[in-house]
Amino acid sequence: MAIDIKETAIISPDAVLAPDVVVGPYAVIGANVTIGAGTVIGPHARIEGPATIGARNRFVGQCSIGTDPQDLKFKAEKTELRIGDDNLFREFVTINRGTSGGGGITTIGSNNFFMAYSHVAHDCHVGSGTVFANSATLAGHVDVGDFATIGAFSAVHQFCHVGDHAFIGGGSICTQDVLPFVKTVGNRPAKTYGINTIGLERKGLSKETIEALQRAYRILVRSKLRAADALARIEEELGQFPEAKYFAEFVRASKRGVIR
């Protein structure tokens, strides 16, 4: 199947497109962009490089992908963006490349859904299976774990980590790390509201695993133990569950502290 490029699209001669890529009218693809098989670039979308984009991604109209980081320290040094497979980027999504001071790269995994106006800043690392609702925003240097959900009009502060399967409710402001598996909601301060039981059930976690996570959450948040003692107790009593062990390791590794 030949590349389907509308005649009003502008494609750099230095871009590399797989044989079945579709490029809509008025789209712009810059130099040093590589786009994998089955990817569809919508009308008026803009993709700048260096960027490597995997297979079967869909960029709906007016996306701005791989553009310069919004960082006053950026001096046009070579940085990049890497995107996996099967992602959906809706209208006006913006994703910036990395900075030399932050590792030089922004990464997006696979099977993610970015709703309209969501934003991923420079040097962020987003896992796979995540959902960014409308206008969800990451500041620079944020790590987001697999299967996390970031609610509409929510913002995550720079250098924060969002754990696997975390659920951030709409309109939240997260200035510390966001616990995995947990519902976090609120605007200065955000607070936690227990394990996201329904969401985890829908994702196929077993009843025993969810109960173990509920117990781990209660030990950390409600037992009034010191953090170190709470984590030791979680690992001692629930260490046979990989998810509970990860929960404890996430808290222990936090540099900004976790939202409770």
Measured between alpha carbons, how far is 5 from 39 in angstroms, rounded to an integer?
A: 12
Measured between alpha carbons, how far is 43 from 37 in angstroms, rounded to an integer?
A: 18
72's tokens = 């006053």
pLDDT (tens, 9 = 90+) of the chain, 260 residues, equals 556 889 999 999 999 999 999 999 999 999 999 999 999 999 999 999 999 999 999 999 899 999 999 999 999 999 999 999 999 999 999 999 999 999 999 999 999 999 999 999 999 999 999 999 999 999 999 999 999 999 999 999 999 999 999 999 999 999 999 999 999 999 989 999 999 999 999 999 999 999 999 999 999 999 989 999 999 999 999 999 999 999 999 999 999 999 99
Q: Which of 66, 109, 140, 145 is catalytic?
A: 140
pTM: 0.95
Active site residue 44: no
Q: Which of 36, 42, 84, 122 is catalytic?
A: 122
Cβ partners under 8 Å of residue 15, min gap 6:
29, 30, 31, 32, 33, 34, 35, 49
Are β-strands 33-35 and 16-17 bridged in parallel, bridged antiparallel, or unpaired?
Answer: parallel
Active site residue 161: no
**Is the CB of residue 149 less than 8 Å from the CB of residue 129?**
no
- Kindly list the structural domains of the chain, giving each domain's residue range(s) and its CATH number in brackets, ordered by start: 4-141 (2.160.10.10), 200-253 (1.20.1180.10)
69's tokens = 């980081």
Measured between alpha carbons, how far is 43 from 59 in angstroms, rounded to an integer?
A: 9
Q: For residue 99, which of 126, 127, 70 has the smallest C-alpha distance?
A: 70
